[in-house]
A and B are shown apart, each in its own frame.
Chain A
Amino acid sequence: MRKVIHRILSKNILGLCLIILLAFATSLSAQGGDPVKGKSLFNANCAACHQLDKKMTGPALRNVEEKIVAEGLDRAWIYEWIRNSAGLIKSGDAYANKIYNEFGGAAMSPFPQLSNEDIDNILAYTAEVKEEAPAAAVASGATTNAPAATGGITNELILGALAILFVLLALGLFVVNKTLRRFANAQNIELPEATKRMPLWQAFVKNQFLMLVLAIFLLLASAYFVYGYMMQIGVDQGYQPVQPIHYSHKIHAGDNGIDCKYCHSSARTSKHSGIPSLNVCMNCHKSIYEVAPETQAEGAAIGVDYNAEIKKLYKAVGWDDTEQKYTGESQPVKWVRIHNLPDFVYFNHSQHVTVAGVECQTCHGPIQEMEVVSQFAPLTMGWCIDCHRTTDVKIQDNAYYTKIHEALAKKYNKEKLTVAEMGGLECGKCHY
């Protein structure tokens, strides 16, 4: 079992990167400004479009001031640019227009709220020397795995020791027996010969009553197992296929707490929960091009290269990460469907998610903890029915139910009605 402490800590992969960078930052900006404040300002205002060392929507910003100065401009120009880039471009400033055109005419949003001091802080932050990815994180990742591993070995050790003990005991008994016989022989003590009786199994076979009972028992037992086998045909509980892209619900829904319905948006309005189209992935992954080193290390421990998986996404959606643009060559991802209801069952997600307010986890299990998703529920009719029998209809603030529920509640003399009492057990509600 792997521990997840580090994941819980890393609320935000980007943030984590920066914390590490900060922790090992040694140089401070020469021109003043507080890189610590600068970092939080950077994260709040700039990080959506800029990274320190990677070209994104906007240029990489490490040592940006040096570059600007090399163009013969000064810090005042930077103030001006940040507060009103559009104005600067309009005024015909050569470098402003150059930058503007280089990034495909994507205008930078103005930040008039940033004071000179704020910008100084940010610049101080950008002027920090780049730190190599700390090895410590990897090391700590490895250490966190250790106790879990020892735990496993301990159990095995105990079992092994016990097994050896039993073998020793058996050996001892055998030796004792042998020794005693030798003594008896030596003392000429007549050991009583076992009389040749009818062997037990033969007696058993000859007893017709016992045979009948046995036959009945065997038949019943085999019927039990055959029934059990038959009943599990088509029930794929625990089905956990390998997906074309190793997508971790644990990282997305668990660690990062992304709402299920952010990606599975059609669950609110449609019968299908919907597999998100790749453009939904790119809403975030346009800027999240790699995972935190710790996460990467954790992936490595289970044989997954998360960064390579993100690359797979880029390939499928046709995103050129270095040029930061779509190539137009896309390739749909062929996910393996896990939850397969037969054609003759009608199931509607929106009825359960929106109307009834059922949590996704009720049927899909602890998705936020699943590294690889598996089918949690058996998806059998009995399972559906059980829930319909026990779940109350959610009638709050729903004018549709008001009248019907009131009348039915009166009829059944109950305050709250279950889905079954509303007619949720009728064949035709799901089979048509």
Chain B
Amino acid sequence: MSSNKKYWKSVEELNETSSIVETLKQNEFVSEIPTDEFLGDKDTLEATSTTRRDFLKYIGFSTAAASLAACEGPVVKSIPYVVQPQEIIPGVANYYATTIADGFDFASILVKTREGRPIKIENNALAATNSVANARVNASVLGLYDSLRLQSPKKGGNSISWTDFDAETNQKLTNLKVAGKEIVLLTQTYASPSTSKLISEFKEKYGTVRHVVYDAVSESAALDAYQAKYGERALANYDLSKASTIVSIGADFLGDWQGGGFEVGYSKGRIPQEGKMSRHIQFESNLSLTGANADKRVPLTPSEQKIALAKLYSYVVGGSVSGSLPNQVEVAVKKAAAQLKKAGTNGVVLTGIQDVNAQTVALEINEFLVSNAFDKATPIKTRQGSDADVAALVADMKAGKVGAIIMSGVNPVYTLPNASEFVAGLKKTELSITFSMKMDETASEVEYVAAAPHYLESWGDVEIKKGHYGLTQPTIRPLFNTRQFQEALLKWTGNPVSYHDYIKEAWGTTILGGSSFNQALHDGVFVGSIATEVISTTDASTLAAPSGSAASALASSAKKSGLELTLYTKVGMGDGQQANNPWLQEFPDPITRTSWDNYLTISKADADALGLINKHVANGALNGSYAKVTVNGKSVTAPVMIQPGQAKGSVGLALGYGRTKGLKEEMQTGVNAFALYQGFNTVQNVTVEAVSGEHEFASVQLHNTLMGRGDIIKETTLEIFNTKDKKYWNEVAMVSLNHKPTPVSSPEVDLWDSFDRSIGHHFNLSIDLNACTGCGACVIACHAENNVPVVGKSEVRRSRDMHWLRIDRYYSSEDSFEGDDKKKDDISGLGSSLSEFAEMEHASANPQVAFQPVMCQHCNHAPCETVCPVAATSHGRQGQNQMAYNRCVGTRYCANNCPYKVRRFNWFLYNGNDEFDYHMNDDLGRMVLNPDVVVRSRGVMEKCSMCIQKTQKTILDAKRDGREIKDGEFQTACSAACGTGAMVFGDINDKESKVAKLKQDNRMYHLLEHVGIKPNVMYQTKVRNTTEA
């Protein structure tokens, strides 16, 4: 019997003649195992005297030795200064006021230094304008410690000395001068009085010199319009706190529109006071940060925006324009116009359409309204580039008319749409120099690369707004052998003074007017007499009456064909000059909540039509199709992100990604959208087609809608807020006690015993959802303050991001969150709940958007504390939920028991680990770490500590001075970084403090209050001004 039985492993074996079976019999491994590859050279292997036995002995010995050695503490050296600088006390931070002016971001800031190392950027409270550091400026300190920075000047890729550099470039420049050839200075917008003076001196010395100012992301149209109207090449300045009605057509003014910096004024008007708040109507195609904050948002394509603006003009000022709009947009424009007229001088119109006519129309409407918000006295100077000049330069270079080109602060080979033409032109110059911090795209193409210092190592001055000056001072000795552009200009003009002395002298003669330079340097800012002069407002009469010609020209220029692409800059990346900054790469975009990428945003309808999809894969991460985007024959292939709120017929793509040179491989993310930035126009007609493949996104939030859970983000309208009782719009959750509904906040229903917290400090953080724009400056500030590690794209995709502070963004599924709540409440029965809940998972085509910063809520009855088996997390008397990392064994029970999901687990050792080659992996990058906060190791849980190191320091300072603490002294990193005043931190036991008052505010609520865990973080109900005129 048994002999007849045949066992077989595969069907193949049944086939007697199968060659596979035969082969496998002969050789188990069909393909050769590449033993040579890992054993290396056979000869040397045989020659070695180490036997396998010896090898094991060595291993055994070294393991034993290592474990024995581990019991001995290492010898730590302490090396004091030879001569300690007077201002440095080890362990005590020094603050210096300086100004960032990198051509894209301009802000007056404070730099915190420890033992001479800048470690954090903070807002400069002394500055009257641009005092708020955005996410990029907050992150810029890490750029100082970039391991890929150029350490010395280079010629043709080889390091040379500055002496040789000077000798050679001087010689060449002199030769060119003698030959009468043109020398071109291609720079970023410096807005620097001293640099302008230097450049004019350079011009004097070398004769035919052309200075071309180039902004990577151009505001040329707005500059041209302002110049034509007011005779000054600057950008219109608006103080949005003075506006009660803000109509924005395509202006992302909470983002980077006109250099940004409008959020402070905007938020002031957004907090309801005495029943009033501003109304903000946004017309736009991409869902921008600004649109997300608007009371009413109308999605429309860029060409429709032009007509809408022209129509708005005609409704407000008068006249008629051609063109037609979809009915609902038409109605919205009419209503907006009515509202503006009603607001009168309190109305303001902003536009981001890169078209001189559009900008002129906006200026004319504001003139007509005599808008209070329109500040003509202090126009913005931070963009001065001219598209025409740059285009002319490239043409001249190609024609071989340019003898020498000296670049600083620009990276045209990356940012120019016609970069290849520029490179061809570069080859025809006799001398090409670029001042660069990195071996970037441009630096790789030029003859001489002058290693430039970081702004924290440089001197400088800047006129951010007319009459508002800022000084840049070094906060650290240059780390490398670098020289800034201005120093080089001084050398070339044969001026022996240092740039510092030059600035000091220039300021003394023209700007300071007798004030102290040292005081200005201390403050970082100086307000000149021009800014304080009252400029007569009779300008309106002298100006030509609005003719309406611009409006009709604008309306007729609106032509539509196919999809329209709007190029934009992301809050995290800007123009891409900080692309090698891991903080910014991992910073989730406030709208899409996606990090490490740019993508083509497209509406659901268009995506369906083109066969483009977004889907969640097995591990929960997001994947998206690729699409080929073509503009005039130039195309890029980008992943697709289906974006609720994207106007149908439009797509969006962020600039600043797709860098290829001067940055680590991990940071080479996204696609370069500058290739599509043709004619420096952010709006392009494109064709989009699906291509094969799927892109893996690293999103930190995958569920986008609130599912009708209105108690997470409490919202109401201004009307209800003003007319109805608090109970109606901010109800405290009820629980049943003896079958009677009882407020969850009452002590009878409390499961826990409360501790007495009335003595000493009791810290609370209030977050005003009305003032929070979602800008994310707090996220980066938290990173810098608390040594939060960067984990990289693939880890973020696995939901292992380490952000202690996240800003949740929710879309409504119906037209509004109110609709969601209603829909959820109306669900009854299984069938309905299945289908309707499924529907609610999808965001509306034009959703309402809400932002909610969430960090550890420091619950007084914290669920995480009760489940920790080793008591690693415990509660402090001052309200903080404390985390003792050295005690944590990593069971992660706490994270599972946290209702807010704010605890983060260290899956890996993120510092000193080549797998995570970010700033914590090299000695240079580690210099940014805050020495007062421990760098957590692998296997422990970490989370927001409510910046206990900062509150402890404040307390200690007060103890040392023997004084009580005033309100406002206590700050967390996030509350200090928050420029809009959305985050207020303080001691609620100080009854006079701002935060104690906010706790009593009618708008106050706690997140998930019904759980009854009594958080120490509170939110202020979001109020929307839905009042139509």
Contacts and interface: CB of A to CB of B under 8 A. Distances in A.
Contacts of A401: 959
A428 B92 contact: no
A392 to B, nearest CB: 15
Contacts of A330: 82-83
A336 B760 contact: no
Nearest to B965: A400
Contact of A343 (B82, B89, B874, B935): B935
Contacts of A278: 80-83
B962 A432 contact: no
B88 to A, nearest CB: 9
A336 to B, nearest CB: 6
A431 B952 CA distance: 12
The 10 closest A-B pairs by CB, nearest first: A428-B882, A270-B91, A277-B84, A277-B81, A272-B91, A275-B80, A337-B76, A271-B91, A427-B884, A330-B82
Contacts of B958: 400
Contact of B959 (A270, A335, A398): A398
Contact of A337 (B78, B82, B760, B872): B78
A330, A355, A431 pick with most chain B CB within 10 angstroms:
A431
Given A279-B82, A432-B933, 18 more contacts: A266-B90, A269-B92, A270-B92, A279-B81, A332-B79, A333-B79, A337-B76, A337-B78, A346-B952, A400-B959, A400-B961, A401-B959, A402-B964, A423-B878, A428-B884, A431-B885, A431-B887, A432-B882
Interface in A319-376: 330-337, 340, 342-346, 348-351, 354-355
A344 B886 contact: yes
Nearest to B956: A351
A277 B887 contact: no
B73 A408 contact: no
A432 B948 contact: yes
Interface string A392-432: 00000111111110011001000000000011001111011
B434 interface: no
Nearest to A423: B877
Contact of B73 (A234, A276, A316, A344): A234
Contacts of B885: 344, 431
Given A236-B73, A427-B874, A432-B933, A274 B80 contact: yes
Contact of A431 (B82, B878, B884): B884
A317 interface: yes
Interface string B744-762: 0000000000001011100
Nearest to B78: A337
B727 interface: no
Nearest to B84: A277
B535 interface: no
Interface string A237-250: 00101000000000
A427 B76 contact: no
A233 interface: yes
Q: Name the residue among A331, A345, A422, A432 with the largest chain B CB count within 10 angstroms.
A: A432
B942 to A, nearest CB: 10
B138 interface: no
A332 B80 contact: yes
B77 A272 contact: no
Nearest to A272: B91
Contact of B964 (A236, A346, A399): A399
A432 B71 contact: no
B179 interface: no
A269 B934 CA distance: 21
Contact of A432 (B77, B887, B949, B956): B949
Contacts of A277: 80-84
A332 B89 CA distance: 17
A351 B880 contact: no
A426 B755 CA distance: 14
Given A233-B71, A351-B959, A423-B760, A272 B90 contact: yes
A239 to B, nearest CB: 8
A316 B83 CA distance: 11
Contacts of B880: 428
A331 B82 CA distance: 7
A426 B876 contact: yes
A400 B958 CA distance: 6
Given A344-B934, A428-B948, A429-B952, A266 B89 contact: yes
Given A274-B91, A400-B959, A431-B884, A340 B759 contact: no
B874 A354 contact: no
Nearest to B880: A428
Nearest to B961: A400
Chain A: interface residue count, which band? Answer: 35 or more
B389 to A, nearest CB: 50
A201 to B, nearest CB: 34
Interface in B866-888: 872, 874, 876-878, 880, 882-887
B444 interface: no
Contacts of B949: 346, 432
B956 A275 contact: no
B945 A336 contact: no
B739 interface: no
Contact of A269 (B84, B89, B756, B874): B89
Contacts of B877: 423, 426
Nearest to A229: B71
A337 B77 contact: yes
A403 B964 CA distance: 9
Contact of B934 (A233, A400, A403, A432): A432
B6 interface: no
Contacts of A423: 760, 876-878
Nearest to B949: A432
B497 interface: no
Nearest to A278: B82
A427 B882 contact: yes
B9 interface: no
A403 B876 CA distance: 19
Interface string A143-176: 0000000000000000000000000000000000
Nearest to B878: A423
B105 to A, nearest CB: 31
Find the residue from B80, B90, B958, B965 having the highest chain A CB count within 10 A.
B80
B945 A428 contact: yes
Q: Most chain-A CB neighbours within 10 Å: which of B876, B932, B960?
A: B960
B963 interface: yes
B75 interface: yes
Nearest to A317: B82
Contacts of A275: 78, 80
A333 B80 contact: yes
A400 B73 contact: no
A403 B73 CA distance: 44
24 contacts: A269-B92, A270-B90, A271-B91, A274-B90, A277-B80, A277-B83, A277-B84, A279-B81, A279-B83, A279-B84, A337-B77, A344-B934, A346-B932, A350-B956, A355-B960, A400-B962, A423-B878, A426-B874, A426-B877, A427-B887, A428-B882, A429-B876, A432-B932, A432-B933
A420 B933 CA distance: 23
Contacts of A422: 760
Contact of A426 (B81, B882, B886): B882
B960 A336 contact: no
Contacts of B81: 277-279, 332
Contacts of B91: 266, 270-272, 274, 349
Interface string B937-977: 00000000100110010011011111111000000000000
Interface string A190-209: 00000000000000000000
A407 B933 CA distance: 31
A334 B82 contact: no
A15 to B, nearest CB: 29
A109 to B, nearest CB: 24
Nearest to A271: B91
Nearest to B75: A336
Interface string B40-82: 0000000000000000000000000000000101011111111
Nearest to A244: B77
